[in-house]
Amino acid sequence: MSKTAHTIPRIAITPGEPAGIGPDLLVRFAQGASQAQLVAIADPDLLAARARLLGLDLRLETCDPERPPTLSPPGHLSVLPVTLRQPAEPGRLDPANAAYVLETLTAACDGCLNGAFDALATGPVHKGVINEAGVHFTGHTEFLARRCNAQPVMMLATPGLRVALVTTHLPLMQVSAAITREHLTRVIEILHRDLSQRFGIDQPRILVCGLNPHAGEGGHLGREEVEVIEPVLSALRARGWNLVGPLPADTAFVPERIASADAFLTMFHDQGLPVLKHLGFGRAVNVTLGLPIIRTSVDHGTALDLAGTDRADPGSLTAAVKLAIDLAHLSD
């Protein structure tokens, strides 16, 4: 895990899809005080135009990574400029700007890898328009994993609940085949390590959901628990790890279990995330574990219908940046 190079963290922020609410959220968020230097990896003209549209004062300054970071005052943003391919209109997607979105992510990721930035917080991207531009793109997590040559684990967190995923953006018909002993072992190892090292949790208690209804009913409703999940958990418990499960997913998230867990591990995207988003939508943060960099993200999409209206809630971006700052400090 990389160490924070700066006393004041320098946090890279990518606003994501330029036609969506990402730029709105960033210029709104920048109106408040921050405990870090905030660096937007974006087109400064886009940010200035969105600030004017929202009636917000915004001062933009070009970031110099060679200089020590300073706290971003309210109404100020540092910028590492990346130029839009076409002017962005709120609410109107343009595949021509897909390359711009990927360029911002590349610059931000590489800046974290080379120590220019201490962490990355990402705004929402639109997967569909990137694919329409001819680029196969399944999400931030997979893109950053390839860029970092790492094997990631997606975890979402909201106050009182953390949920990690064994599989991420897969069709349901492919999930079972993807849950092998080797893959599940690797995911749990990454989750356990990062809860301990990045979040400072000694001996994390992880509750693991089964894949099938009723966790397979002893093999009568599916064999994945018997043949894959239980053997992996048994082997890792032999290391002294506190792993509970496999649990039936429909009763895993009762209050007493949530209160006792440092994290839940679910087998697929829509098994645990509906519970987390019901509990904390607008305050939840997506954290990519298993990377050599710190990366957090909002828990929502581009909300094209809200772009440019000043009706988008910056709560999730605020939480994502705050967690990025906290994790940067913990990595010292």
Question: For residue range 20-74, what is the model confidence (pLDDT) as tens digits?
Answer: 999 999 999 999 999 999 999 999 999 999 999 999 999 999 999 999 999 999 9
What confidence score (pLDDT) does residue 5 get?
59
3 annotated ligand-binding residue: no
295 annotated ligand-binding residue: yes
Closest CA to 224 of 237, 236, 238, 208: 208
19 φ, ψ (degrees, to nearest 5) = -85, -5
6 annotated ligand-binding residue: no
CA angle 129, 135, 140 (to 5 degrees): 75
Burial of 102 from C-beta contacts in 10 A (0-12 / 13-18 / 19+): middle
Helices 140-148 + 98-113 axis angle, to 10: 50
Element (H, E) at 279: helix 269-280
> pTM of whole model > 0.85?
yes
Would you give per-residue pLDDT tens digits along the chain (332 residues)? 344 457 899 999 999 999 999 999 999 999 999 999 999 999 999 999 999 999 999 999 999 999 999 999 999 999 999 999 999 999 999 999 999 999 999 999 999 999 999 999 999 999 999 999 999 998 898 899 999 999 999 999 999 999 999 998 899 999 999 999 999 999 999 999 999 999 999 999 999 999 999 999 999 999 999 999 999 999 999 999 999 999 999 999 999 999 999 999 999 999 999 999 999 887 899 999 999 999 999 989 999 999 999 999 999 999 999 999 999 988 76
76 annotated ligand-binding residue: no
Q: Domains plus CATH for the chain? A: 1-150+291-331 (3.40.718.10), 153-283 (3.40.718.10)
286 annotated ligand-binding residue: yes
